[in-house]
Structure 1
Amino acid sequence: MTQDNLRHAFIQFALDAGVLSFGEFVTKAGRTSPYFFNAGLFNQGAMLGQVAQFYAKTLLASGVEFDMLFGPAYKGITLASATAVALAGMGRDVPFAYNRKEAKDHGEGGTIVGAKLQGRVVIIDDVISAGTSVRESVQMIRAAGATPAAVLIALDRMERSGNAEQVGAHSAVQDVQREFGMPVVSIASLADLLQYLDASQNPALAQHRAAVGAYRARYGVDA
């Protein structure tokens, strides 16, 4: 499967699972978005196994060199662990770790659970909104003496920072790449979603093309 086919297959999968939907949704920034992506709805075993396959294939195809995975609490925990299982099934058995929101003062203690953070670490999450969880993850990885190698997300919204009235120059993904000098790899992006809608033979889906395109024209960044 080519990367384009993989991206379009992921979009179809997300639509079928109800994780990607169309309508009118108000974002945290106060913008009215014509689409919504909620990775929390990957909440059944089969769906989680499938999304992990998409993560693993995308990571291997990216060319990023890595030694382990890290999942920031909370969504990243499940995504990183499932991706580790998928990678092992593809012959790439790597350790993974995740963090607690609050430090544990008994047992093994600390905020990190799982394998020791070392080598080149890929941070796995669903999307990057403000970049807060990525920055916290980078701090923890560097504090352990390891190297943050990349961030792997499901969907790049390709949306400039700011709110409904004020629009920044860059997206949260671009800010993370500029700040930390590491790539952000996504399974799919808003540009892929538009291509998917352009090619769709389903009138119920194609009707959303204009609204999504207008939203990208207003808030989007270049590919």
Structure 2
Amino acid sequence: MISRKHAIAVLAAACAAASGFSGRLCFCVVLLVLCVRSSAQVRTPDQMLINPDPKDWVTYGGSYYSQRYSQLKQVTTANASRLQAKWVYHLDGAEEGEVTPIVVNGVMYISGFNRLDAIDARSGNIIWRYQRQPASSTRQRGTAVFGDKVYVATSDSHLVALDARVGGVRWDVKSEGGYTIAGGAPLVADGKVIVTGNRPGGFIQAYDAETGKHVS
């Protein structure tokens, strides 16, 4: 099988021979074409949520359809009884949890009790941890991932955006009106982070996913 590197070299040589241009110029032209083609195939964060890769679990309900059903075919009724645990991860200090882990590009995000852990889904090793003080016993049902950010609601009525790679805080805003928003998992749609809370009668708020600005 010809590698991309060899294919580029062959195309550049053929182009130079056919056109009389230098190999360097032709190489640049061919490389530019390949780069443009590759960039066109990259899915946007919205596309990843609308039509997620089956190996990922990108939002609380699995996708915007909230069917909570995996399309993967490896586990069936015939082999489910033979499954064995590969690793176990303990949430220190946690009591009963109601969280749904989010999995994106091989990283599992588990939130709860004013904390968010990013874990290597293959090995179970922790990648980074975000801990907000004080620690809380408030149950959380999940987090949300959009592009290079992870969003988590805290027990002190804040919505926090974290860098998905290293866990650093990108922005931190208090919920409009100070209402508690830690119970339900955030949902990202149309570039907005949507949260709900326990105000009598219920309420819904939306924040700009990039800046944290309250939009509705």
TM range, smaller chain = under 0.3
Say which structure is richer in helix.
1
TM-score by length of 2: 0.20
TM-score by length of 1: 0.20
Larger of the two Rg values belongs to structure: 2
* Relative contact order higher in (CA < 8 Å, ≥ 6 apart): 1
